[in-house]
Amino acid sequence: MTESSANKLLNGDVCHRSSSGKKSGKNGFVKNHCLFQQPQKYRRLREKNQNVTRNSSLYKKPFLESFEETPLLVAVLTYMGYGILTIFGYLRDFLRHWNIEKCHVAREREEQKDFVPLYQDFENFYTRNLYMRIRDNWNRPICSVPGAKMDLVERVSHDYNWTFQHTGKVVKDVINMGSYNYLGFAENTGTCADAAVEATHKYGVGVGSTRYEIGNLDIHEEMEQLVARFLGVESSMAFGMGFATNSMNIPALTGKGCLILSDELNHASLVLGARLSGSTIRVFKHNNMQSLEKLLRDAIVHGQPRTHRPWKKILIVVEGIYSMEGSIVRLPEVIALKKRYKAYLYLDEAHSIGALGPNGRGVVDYFGLDPKDVDIMMGTFTKSFGAAGGYIGGKRELIDYLRNHSHSALYATSMSPPVAQQIITSMKTIMGEDGTTLGADRLRQLSENTTYFRRKLRDMGFIIYGNDDSPVVPMMLYMPAKIGAFGREMLKRNIGTVVVGFPATPIIESRARFCVSAAHTREMLDTVKGAVTLNAEYFYSSDTI
């Protein structure tokens, strides 16, 4: 269901909660041990879901987040919408089963008809009946650089999205609000592209071997040293795929007898890595430090389930920016908890590296903390660096251990040389080592764009989730029909957006997601804002029925 509501303002509002939440125990122990208080039971009803931390001194600047609660009428209408669609889905399935309606679904081979069916009918109910209707909003092929503006391949469907045909035409100059291009490094001209061209000439495209064997090129070593310097850690290691970085390295770090505390809304790669490791997994509420603290205390005090042996290690897994919510992790509080309870912290900065912080060094830089406090800093190069792959940074012992025990280093091919070169050039640009101020300009432009865009949309009255500083801007749509309509209308106005529904989000919280980029100009953002406003008038206006 919906998350806690109301704006959370955490600049040190102690307000009226003065006494500690616990009565004095029998042995006279009055002091409250928890770092973060549980809210009182005798609260006023209006502030029921407010979360105030006592340690707001940990934050150097205001931490403004909002997750407005779904209005009741909207929730009811959304459920009704899904109900109607489900009924129609059953009707269509019935018609297809009795061959009244032509069935476009691919069928099993004749020779294999008596095999156990590969898919259960119900698994694909949602895909067949709901997803198919609005399928044209996803997998849109593009044929240019995914920069601030892109060219889309025009495609039409004559059978209600079951198959698509390309008309051969190209829709030019569509404003791109969907690609993860935070610093605008997705470009085919400039220093990065030239350096990548040289690397291709020198090294070729493929590598043909694993890092362990003979795939360790000198360009990989250079890139890893640069990444370590960028992050401010002792050493780092890079891998060919961001998803694989998580799913293959978490098993190398934890195993049976360890505990992983993972956020509710963690990415699929983190969940998969945690599952493959074989450790016990416990989930805490999204960005909720009280929930995390309670889990930590219970874990240490009670030990492993049933045997009550102490845990070997506790690993807290969080992300820098959560891409579906737009929220930023409460890193100062997490680090305080980690130090207090001697746990280890795994921070996945897939979206926040390069996008947050005055120097672009990610969420650690944003909060002004010491990178050595985070045990394992993981991130990807896909979003802000315009390349592909992932990295892990940390102490030298950690990286040496991973070089020998990471599944990726031993069994998977190393990164392609031009991609590695792109990372090197873009990182040097961000750090300012190429001699220009291009990096600093882009960082400033991104934060200005983010603030401007969020403010404008909020002023228009839209429900925007997430932290005020995050370049990921989710705008709530709620109703299933609006998902399809919004995506299509925006495309008609030459703007490409991303709409997300179930199962990536809870069923009634469908949203449109905008990714602000440093490459966007103010005019583009104004155009987008104008288009969204026009759409809203079209949908919400009582005249159009």
Partner 1 sequence: MVYFCTLGPKQSWSCINWAPAYHLILEGILILWIIRLLFSKTYKLQETYKLTEKEKEDLIEEWQPEPLVPPVSKDQPFLNYDIVTGPPSHKITINGKECINFASFNFLGLLDNERVKHKALASLKKYGVGTCGPRGFYGTFDVHLELESRLAKFMKTEEAIIYSYGFATIASAIPAYSKRGDIVFVDEAACFSIQKGLQASRSFIKYFKHNDMEDLERLLMEQEQEDQKNPRKARVTRRFIVVEGLYINTADVCPLPELVKLKYKYKVRIFLEESMSFGVLGEHGRGVTEHFGVNIDDIDLISANMENAVASIGGFCCGRSFVIDHQRLSGQGYCFSASLPPMLAAAAIEALNIMEEDPGIFTVLREKCRLVYEELQGIPGLKLRGEQFAPALHLQLERSFGSRDTDLKMLRSIVDYCLLVLPNPNLFLPIPSQSCSCCLSRPVLFTPFTTYTKLKALLH
Which positions from 63 through 92 interact with partner 1, judged by CB under 8 A? none
For residue 284, what are its two tokens?
């805490």
Q: Which is nearer to partner 1, 71 or 208 (CB)?
A: 208
Cis (ω within 30 of 0) for the bond into 146? no
Tell me whether residue 63 or residue 465 sits nearer to partner 1 (CB atom).
465
For partner 1, which stretch binds (CB under 8 A), given 114-122, 285-293, 434-442, 522-530? Answer: 114-122
Q: Which is nearer to partner 1, 174 or 363 (CB)?
A: 174
| 150 lies in the binding site for partner 1 (CB under 8 A) | yes
Report DSSP letters for 95-123, one per residue: HHHTTSS---S----GGGTTSPPSS-TTT
Residue closer to partner 1, measured from CB, 123 or 370: 123
Question: What is the separation of C-alpha 318 from the centre of its chain, rounded to a whole number of angstroms?
Answer: 11
Residue 122 touches partner 1, criterion: CB under 8 A: no
145 sits near partner 1 (criterion: CB under 8 A): yes
Residue 300 binds partner 1 (CB under 8 A): yes
Number of other residues whose CB lies within 10 A of the CB of residue 359: 17
Taking the complex as a whole, how short is the minimal distance between the CB of residue 196 and partner 1, in angstroms?
5
Beta carbon nearer to partner 1, 8 or 267:
267
What single-letter DSSP state applies at residue 46? G
Least distance CB 73 / partner 1 (angstroms): 30
Site string for partner 1, 400-419 (x = CB under 8 A): xxxxx--xx-xxxx--x-xx
List phi, psi (to 5°) of 197: -60, -45
Q: Is 307 in the site for partner 1 (CB under 8 A)?
A: no
Candidates 5-13, 227-235, 379-387, 524-532: pick the segment binding partner 1 (CB under 8 A): 379-387
Smallest separation, CB 253 to partner 1 (Å):
7
Whichever of 10 and 299 has its CB closer to partner 1, that residue is 299
Closer residue to partner 1 (CB): 175 or 476: 175
- Helix or strand or coil: residue 457? helix
Residue with tokens 């928890």: 34
Closest CA to 249 of 338, 384, 379: 379
**How far from 491 is each of 178, 310, 484, 485, 510, CA to CA, in Å?**
12, 56, 11, 10, 18
Of 38 and 188, the one with the shorter C-beta distance to partner 1 is 188
Interacting stretch for partner 1, rule CB under 8 A, among 95-103, 139-147, 280-288, 357-365?
139-147
Binding flags for partner 1, 506-535, as an x/- string (CB under 8 A):
------------------------------
Buried/exposed code over 30-63 (b: 16+ C-beta within 10 A; e: otherwise): eeeebbbbeeeeeeeeeeeebbbbeebebbeeeb
Q: Scanning residues 348 to 367, which ones bind partner 1 (CB under 8 A)?
A: none
Residue recorded with tokens 């469907």: 157
Scan residues 448-487 and list those touching partner 1 (CB under 8 A).
none
Which positions from 227 through 286 interact with partner 1, judged by CB under 8 A?
240-244, 247-248, 253, 267-269, 272, 275-276
Q: Is 109 in the site for partner 1 (CB under 8 A)?
A: yes
> Among the residues of 368-462, which ranges form H helices?
396-405, 407-411, 417-431, 438-460
Q: CB under 8 A: which stretch of 110-118, 431-439, 441-449, 531-539 binds partner 1?
A: 110-118
Q: Examine residue 314 and tell whether it contacts partner 1 (CB under 8 A).
A: yes
Q: How far apart are CA 236 and CA 390, in angstroms?
A: 11
Integer angstrom CA distances of residue 201 from 54, 187, 205, 215: 58, 19, 9, 18
Residues pairing with 165 in the sheet: 156
Q: Which of 313, 456, 458, 488: binder of partner 1 (CB under 8 A)?
A: 313
Using CB under 8 A, which residues numbered 211 to 230 contact partner 1? Answer: 211-218, 221
Q: How many residues bind partner 1 (CB under 8 A)?
A: 120
Residue 127 contacts partner 1 per CB under 8 A: yes
Q: Residue 496, interface with partner 1 (CB under 8 A)? A: yes
- The phi, psi pair for 28, rounded to 5°, reads 80, 15
Report the alpha-carbon distance of residue 308 to residue 263 in Å, rounded.
Answer: 24
Rounded Cα–Cα distance for residues 516 and 527 (Å) = 13
Question: Binding to partner 1 by residue 202, rule CB under 8 A?
Answer: yes
Q: Which is nearer to partner 1, 7 or 165 (CB)?
A: 165
Half-sphere exposure of 160 (CA within 13 A, CB side): 10
